A and B are shown apart, each in its own frame.
Chain A
Amino acid sequence: MALAHVASSTSRSNLLRPISAIISPNLRRQLSTDDTRTLTIETSVPFTSHQCESPSRSVDTTPSELLSFFRDMATMRRMEIAADSLYKAKLIRGFCHLYDGQEAVAVGMESAITKKDSIITAYRDHCTFLGRGGTLLQVFSELMGRIDGCSKGKGGSMHFYKKDSGFYGGHGIVGAQVPLGCGLAFAQKYKKDGTVTFALYGDGAANQGQLFEALNISALWDLPAILVCENNHYGMGTAEWRAAKSPAYYKRGDYVPGLKVDGMDALAVKQACKFAKEHALKNGPIILEMDTYRYHGHSMSDPGSTYRTRDEISGVRQERDPIERVRKLILSHDLATEKELKDTEKEVRKLVDDAIAQAKESPMPEPHELFSNVYAKGYGVEAFGADRKEVRAVLP
């Protein structure tokens, strides 16, 4: 899916290339003249801080950045909704945890960092993977267990990885990714990389003991670790106030500073991540609590309406939807017309549909792949199938 690259001042993920290449002419004209001018936009909600100063509510951005936020989030939204349909059609099996509603966190974070910084998250990882430069084809192929998947069909929804652009997964055990993320930060400091790690976890994982163990070590050793609590207010079916004595997750670091951020505002997320990166490189760990929301249930087997009201869900969609917020910004600043934005959404929809069609053509792995990658170096040892007299393999 290599397509023309439109030059711009902001760095773009691979994701954007196909879309920008077929963008409508009006939009392109506008982009080439004004796309680098600075716009300063206030976040609608101020930051709340713990043990540190808050960054400014005024966020610098550019027209092309806002347009790319819109494009990226629209792609993520469309991708997740398409995954819902594929799951119901039984083309996706097992677990499928969807991120729609939370797109601003993925997109805002990417705009503040580079691909040399690292991100690690839990199982709600499709959009985070896309933000790190993964393609729609890799996403849908992996979800359907095909060889063009990012993990060649061996991982599934919860185990997306893209090491070459600093994405370390995709983890199924709640909370485990936080110490792993602090370990990534340890390596970055050891190598004197000047980079940081963002370790994402949910409000459900925020009570895990290993998180505090890793935070203690990170603070002791001054690791450039940024712990990001994507607080969507429900740990599976359990509301935050039923799971946490103190749901002020940005304060839970105690001696570690924290910032509470409107996670539905991509610009606020960008500002917070920029702030956090500077902090982490100088002063060690910091916690960011992103106040966000997921429209879907915990996973595809959870309707998401037994523990919260439909009014609450539609209320958030009305008032705080991240894509609508950026749409309003773009329209109020005359960066594009309503029709142009709708066209973008149509283009995105087509890209997603095309990727799904292509992914459906991708074959399932060959049977011998059952035994590949058990080890990086297998010394030619034997491995066995269910009937070891029938199926044996040599691990290279």
Chain B
Amino acid sequence: MLGIIRQKVGAGGASLLRTRSAVSALRSYSSAGKEMTVRDALNSALDEEMSADPKVFLMGEEVGEYQGAYKISKGLLEKYGPERVLDTPITEAGFTGIGVGAAYHGLRPVVEFMTFNFSMQAIDHIINSAAKSNYMSAGQISVPIVFRGPNGAAAGVGAQHSHCYASWYASCPGLKVLTPYSSEDARGLLKAAIRDPDPVVFLENELLYGESFPISAEVLDSSFCLPIGKAKIEREGKDVTITAFSKMVGYALKAAEILAKEGISAEVINLRTIRPLDRSTINASVRKTNRLITVEEGFPQHGVGAEICTSVVEESFGYLDAPVERITGADVPMPYAANLERLAVPQVEDIVRAAKRACYRSVPLAAAA
């Protein structure tokens, strides 16, 4: 569906500190020169963290000899051996419990789910064995584990393989939930997740694995790390705020381009972390623009957008000039037929339309029953 798309990163290259002024995408492109796919970004992050800390190990289905179902763990078995890169049987409840137990004892497991749909078989261990242990034990048992894998819709894989779990995991205290978009995000957030002493749910996106992003020397350094709980302003704007995470960041940026041609300046926020949510960045942006569109691929009810909307209503009600709009996946199990699938996930034009509505530029069509 998407293939490999050249990404124009709007505001400056890969600045952790956001001190660089906005440089045009083309200029940063040619001066940085280097590009990296999300796949390579994840692979290099895993490699570097395993090299730096002998307690880090990787387990999951096909992560070893198969080189990873999506080749994220390519080369790691050869480099670190079968004691640190472990192929598991297809038994998520069992191997996730084993991973959490290893974390109790002080190791730093990275547990891969081939997709997060299969994490439901192990969700008791993620929630009850991992997330809550530090609290229930009053700090005796911390759980430095990372659960990672592709999340959400892919292409044509149907209802059971397309569910987004961002809001599921983000509702649980004790977990941290990260959603990288670009290669810089993938590297920096995965490194942060592995170094973090708490259980982290790391939601990747299958369709982003093959996408290339420009990447700076700073990001390539093995000490590079991004802060957990801090969103990134991907594109500055003044008329409407668009929040997004994972693949939808790309869509939001495209929508921002289209809106710019129509005289609407959109500020695009890449959430990067869903829990803890960066409420202050979101609210600061809405106080500036006075309008908010939340974008996500997952189901609408009790979704990420619902939480963001509520946060803004609670903190910045007086600043809103229009109702908050949310663009989400359709409220149906994911269909297979290509035309229906297209209707089941947000498209760029949906984001554009919502932004215009928030700017009172068009009248929304009444929903047919």
| A residues in contact (CB < 8 Å) with B | 118, 120, 151-155, 159, 161-163, 168-173, 176, 178-188, 190-191, 209-210, 212-214, 216-217, 220-221, 372-377, 379, 381-383, 388-389
Contact A373 B279 (CB under 8 A): no
**8 Å CB contacts to A: which residues of B47-72?**
57
When distances are taken between beta carbons in the complex, the residues of chain A under 8 Å from B79 are none
Interface string of B135-148 (1 = CB under 8 A from A): 11111111010000
Contact B142 A376 (CB under 8 A): yes
- Give the docked Cα–Cα distance between A180 and B97 (Å): 5
Contact B93 A210 (CB under 8 A): yes
- Give the docked Cα–Cα distance between A162 and B139 (Å): 11
Partner of B106, one of A172, A187, A374, A388: A187
Contact A373 B107 (CB under 8 A): no
Q: Does B101 contact A (CB under 8 A)?
A: yes
- Give the docked Cα–Cα distance between A209 and B90 (Å): 13
Interface string of B67-86 (1 = CB under 8 A from A): 00000000000000001001
Can you list 5 A-B contacts with CB-CB less than 8 angstroms, sorted by A residue number? A168-B104, A179-B95, A214-B97, A375-B176, A381-B229
Residue of B nearest to A212 (CB): B94
Task: For the complex formed, measure the closest distance between the CB of B143 and the CB atoms of chain A, giving whole angstroms.
Answer: 8
When distances are taken between beta carbons in the complex, the residues of chain B under 8 Å from A382 are 276, 279
When distances are taken between beta carbons in the complex, the residues of chain B under 8 Å from A186 are 98, 101-102, 107
Interface string of B216-258 (1 = CB under 8 A from A): 0000000000011100000000000000000000000000000
Contact A190 B83 (CB under 8 A): yes
Interface residues on B, range: 35 or more
- Give the docked Cα–Cα distance between A382 and B124 (Å): 25
Q: Does B309 contact A (CB under 8 A)?
A: no
Interface centre among B89, B129, B138, B196 (most CB of A within 10 A): B138
Task: For the complex formed, measure the closest distance between the CB of B72 and the CB atoms of chain A, giving whole angstroms.
Answer: 22
Q: Does B347 contact A (CB under 8 A)?
A: no
Interface centre among B95, B96, B136, B139 (most CB of A within 10 A): B136
Q: 6 other contacts beyond A173-B128, A186-B98, with CB at 8 A cut-off?
A: A154-B136, A154-B137, A179-B101, A185-B101, A213-B97, A383-B173
Known contacts A180-B101, A373-B138, A374-B174; is A190 also within 8 Å of B129 by CB? no
- Give the docked Cα–Cα distance between A168 and B125 (Å): 15
Contact A161 B137 (CB under 8 A): yes
When distances are taken between beta carbons in the complex, the residues of chain B under 8 Å from A185 are 101
- Give the docked Cα–Cα distance between A179 and B93 (Å): 8
Partner of A159, one of B88, B107, B136: B136
Task: For the complex formed, measure the closest distance between the CB of B131 and the CB atoms of chain A, giving whole angstroms.
Answer: 9
Residue of A nearest to B109 (CB): A183
Contact B173 A183 (CB under 8 A): no
Q: How many A-B residue pairs have CB under 8 A?
A: 162
Interface centre among B91, B94, B124 (most CB of A within 10 A): B94
Task: For the complex formed, measure the closest distance between the CB of B273 and the CB atoms of chain A, giving whole angstroms.
Answer: 10
- Give the docked Cα–Cα distance between A221 and B99 (Å): 13
Partner of B105, one of A155, A171, A183, A377: A183
Task: For the complex formed, measure the closest distance between the CB of A249 and the CB atoms of chain B, giving whole angstroms.
Answer: 18
Residue of A nearest to B145 (CB): A183
Q: Does B103 contact A (CB under 8 A)?
A: yes
Partner of A209, one of B93, B128, B129, B314: B93
- Give the docked Cα–Cα distance between A373 and B88 (Å): 32
- Give the docked Cα–Cα distance between A172 and B93 (Å): 16
Contact B125 A179 (CB under 8 A): yes
Q: Does B211 contact A (CB under 8 A)?
A: no
Q: Does B325 contact A (CB under 8 A)?
A: no
Q: Does B100 contact A (CB under 8 A)?
A: yes
Known contacts A151-B137, A183-B104, A375-B134; is A217 also within 8 Å of B198 by CB? no
- Give the docked Cα–Cα distance between A163 and B173 (Å): 22
Interface centre among A152, A153, A217 (most CB of B within 10 A): A217
Known contacts A178-B97, A183-B97, A213-B91; is A155 also within 8 Å of B136 by CB? yes
Known contacts A179-B93, A376-B139; is A173 also within 8 Å of B129 by CB? yes
Interface centre among B86, B101, B128 (most CB of A within 10 A): B101
Residue of A nearest to B133 (CB): A169
Q: Does B158 contact A (CB under 8 A)?
A: no
Q: Does B210 contact A (CB under 8 A)?
A: no
When distances are taken between beta carbons in the complex, the residues of chain B under 8 Å from A379 are 227-229, 276
Q: Does B10 contact A (CB under 8 A)?
A: no
Residue of B nearest to A214 (CB): B94
Residue of A nearest to B137 (CB): A161
Partner of A213, one of B95, B105, B134, B196: B95
Q: Does B300 contact A (CB under 8 A)?
A: no
Q: Does B197 contact A (CB under 8 A)?
A: yes
Residue of A nearest to B276 (CB): A381
